[in-house]
Amino acid sequence: MILQKRLMVCAMATAMAGGTTLPAAAAPWVRGYVAGTYEYAFRYGGRPDYSRGAEIEPGVDCPHGASVHFANDSQTKIAVGRQKWRSQQEIDWISKPPGLDEVRAPVLTRFHIWNRAVAYRAYKRGIETYVNPWAADDPGQPQVTSRIGDGFNLDGKVKANDFVSPVGEKGIDNNLYRAWGCDAPWRGNGNATLDLRANDKMQDGLYTMVFRISGNQDPMNDSDATVEVGYSPDKIVKDARGNVSVDYSYRILQSAQYTKLKAKIKNGVVESEQVEHLHSPRIAWFYDQTGDTNFAKGKIRLNIAPDGFTGTGLMGGYRNWRELYTENTFAQDGGQQGIREHEDHVGLYYALRRNADGMLNPQTGKYDGISSVYRFKLASAYVVDPDKPMDIPKLTLDEERMQAFLAIKANTIKGIETRVPQPVPPGTTEAAVGAFEHDIADLPSKDFFIKTLDRPHYANEDKDGIPPWMRRRRGAVPDAAPPAQPQQPAPKEPQRQVSNKTPTTLASAEKP
């Protein structure tokens, strides 16, 4: 019905103009959109005729391929063999645990041994690698060599090492792509592992990001428009095929993860001003990662389809590279994600550090930020203000994980800045804490690994080395368990129905 009405309006305008569409009359208008996909703006320089199934070819942007750290026994042996303090027996047994073919779950058993081993690769024993990546040697991370990249000219300069956009714009700053664009789980042609995971979690309700564009001239051409980006407490609505549905209502919160910018629109391309700080939701696939992007020198570009139903866009600026490192590494724990995804966060750390290009720190003389660009696809929506101001809701049951993430993030940044090794704070699963001893129980050589491999220790561990927070998460009652926290009341759901109005309407007519 909505599409039919829109087509009727277009047809009437054409007929009245004798076959030529009349320009829209100047009047207040507003359009809203919900992000259906949201990911780093990494290009894929592969050949269109590449046909080896789901395998990702090296491509012109990554001629050396992706990292193969921890992909197999030999690569893991190289990684742990770099520590001069390890014995040869330790190196050999970690890479190929004796008796592995006798256990019930050999892949899981090996996984936890590798996880604990690669979490301690510093210049001496006892220093956890992922909290203190600077204390380990750079294992090397393949970097993007292509000159083509999506993004913005953030610094107003055209430098020799800058990217060129696909349409020929020079001076594009997107050094996050240069640093991480060849990392396997972020690399693909719409099928990168972590892109898929993040978008799946966002669409299933982890968080929602919405845009609202308004002006007084024409939705496709307006020299004095406004664009807003922000967090919505309302879950994304999907149709029967799993696609993001159009024209549902979403509230936009202005308490946090929100920015309002001036913009100009030309032929459906929305170009925002560049602001000192651009706040919006950030990419996440667990609650503890969720939060504010806080782009420095940030801006937005949206490409709106002529019918107003869909759009695409880029959002970018300089992000603190230390925060990017922690968000990617400690979503779960460094070893777990590194082994499963075949990436090495130590290599990613060094790639971020050497490619930092913004937010100059006058005290250190070094850059704290790295130019970063995110892309998204949009579906038409009704973006409205809540009935009364509200904060971003908290997931009470996951708040313990959030606090643990913030603690390990703080320790990691402190270690990077001071070069003083920091401990692994309570609440995390670094070095397979809470799983290692249990999951290698039937391995004949388990005593060697339990005795030899480092791990963090905490107060009130049980006889199996399980810390209190792991027992709580598994449903057991710990000693001196903290009192239960009251549940946050669920936010009132807005009216969730398709409107008969087009998103290009007066602001006063947009309220649900």
Please, are residues 69 and 287 in contact by the beta-carbon 8 Å criterion? no
Q: Is pLDDT of 503 > 50?
A: no
Task: Please state, in angstroms and rounded to a whole number, the distance separating the CA atoms of residues 68 and 229.
Answer: 38
Give the least confident one: 60-69, 301-310, 322-331.
60-69
Q: Give the DSSP per-residue string, 280-301.
A: -B---SSGGG-SB--EEEEEEE
Q: Is pLDDT of 4 > 80?
A: no
How many other C-beta atoms lie within 10 A of the C-beta of residue 92? 16
pLDDT digits (tens, 9 = 90+) for 151-181: 999 999 999 999 999 999 999 999 999 999 9
Token pair 């779950």: residue: 105
Task: Please state, in angstroms and rounded to a whole number, the distance separating the CA atoms of residues 236 and 36.
Answer: 8
Q: Which residues contact 252 (CB under 8 A, 6 or more apart)?
A: 210, 212, 228, 230, 231, 232, 258, 383, 384, 385
Q: Is pLDDT of 31 > 90?
A: yes
Q: List Cα–Cα distances, 291 to 53, 77, 391, in angstroms.
A: 36, 37, 13
**DSSP 3-state assignment of 340?**
helix
Please, are residues 245 and 238 in contact by the beta-carbon 8 Å criterion? yes
Q: Which residues contact 420 (CB under 8 A, 6 or more apart)?
A: 414
Task: Please state, in angstroms and rounded to a whole number, the distance separating the CA atoms of residues 108 and 33.
Answer: 43
First to last CA, the chain: 19
pLDDT of residue 491: 41
Q: Is pLDDT of 473 > 60?
A: yes
**DSSP 3-state assignment of 177?**
helix
How many other C-beta atoms lie within 10 A of the C-beta of residue 82? 12
| DSSP H/E element including 319 | strand 310-320
Between 19 and 234, residue with greater pLDDT: 234
306 alpha-carbon distance from chain centroid: 30
| DSSP H/E element including 476 | none
pLDDT of residue 48: 60
pLDDT band of residue 453 (cuts 50, 70, 90) is: very high
Q: What are phi and psi of 115, to 5 degrees?
A: -55, -50
Q: What are phi and psi of 306, to 5 degrees?
A: -55, -35
Q: Are strands 295-304 and 310-320 parallel, antiparallel or unpaired?
A: antiparallel
Task: For residue 56, give the DSSP letter.
Answer: P
Task: Please state, in angstroms and rounded to a whole number, the distance separating the CA atoms of residues 372 and 351.
Answer: 13
Give the least confident one: 4-13, 126-135, 405-414, 453-462.
4-13
pLDDT of residue 58: 67
pLDDT of residue 47: 64
- How much is the average pLDDT of 133-146? 94
pLDDT digits (tens, 9 = 90+) for 187-205: 877 778 899 999 999 999 9
pLDDT band of residue 52 (cuts 50, 70, 90) is: low
Please, are residues 50 and 57 in contact by the beta-carbon 8 Å criterion? yes
Q: Are strands 248-251 and 358-361 parallel, antiparallel or unpaired?
A: unpaired
CA nearest neighbour of 328 among 320, 248, 271: 320
Q: List Cα–Cα distances, 511 to 15, 303, 501, in angstroms.
A: 32, 25, 11
Q: List Cα–Cα distances, 420 to 132, 403, 490, in angstroms.
A: 9, 22, 43
Q: Is pLDDT of 500 > 80?
A: no
